[in-house]
Amino acid sequence: MATELAGKWKLDHSTKTFDDYLVKLGVGFVKRNLAKATTNVVQTITIDGDKITISMTSPVSSKETTFIVGQAVEEKTLHGEKVQTTIRWEGDKLIAESTECKQPLINTRHIEDGMMVNTLTVADVSCQRFYKRAN
């Protein structure tokens, strides 16, 4: 397990394919542009054994979900779709895979060069968002 993921992380930057990712999700023009312009995004990750809580806050939305590794949890995505999400560890990567949705969703988090790299994939489109540890 990669307990170094635990903590508070502030968005530093996203790859150019973030817009492509949002389009593939079906996010409309106005919400896409708002999402791309919002830089004050914070993820807080708490790890207690197999119990992992991930909260995401921004000026436009907030969400908190508690997972048990290997068990499906019903949640609503930030774009409003109800899905079943299961998390698992693959080495030092925390992978959340959502099913029962329009398109397969995979959300991977790991540490690289002191930053948390959050790779978001919907169907055949991926983007990365890079977070710095917040104090």
pLDDT at 80: 79
Asked whether 128 and 108 are in contact (CB, 8 A), the reply is: no
- Exposed, middle or buried by CB within 10 Å (0-12, 13-18, 19+), for 70? exposed
pLDDT at 119: 98
Per-residue pLDDT of the chain (135 residues; tens, 9 = 90+): 568 999 999 999 999 999 999 999 888 899 888 888 888 999 999 999 999 999 999 988 889 999 999 999 999 876 778 899 999 999 999 999 998 888 889 999 999 999 999 999 999 999 999 999 997
Distance CA 87, CA 70 (A): 6
**pTM, whole model, 2 decimals?**
0.91
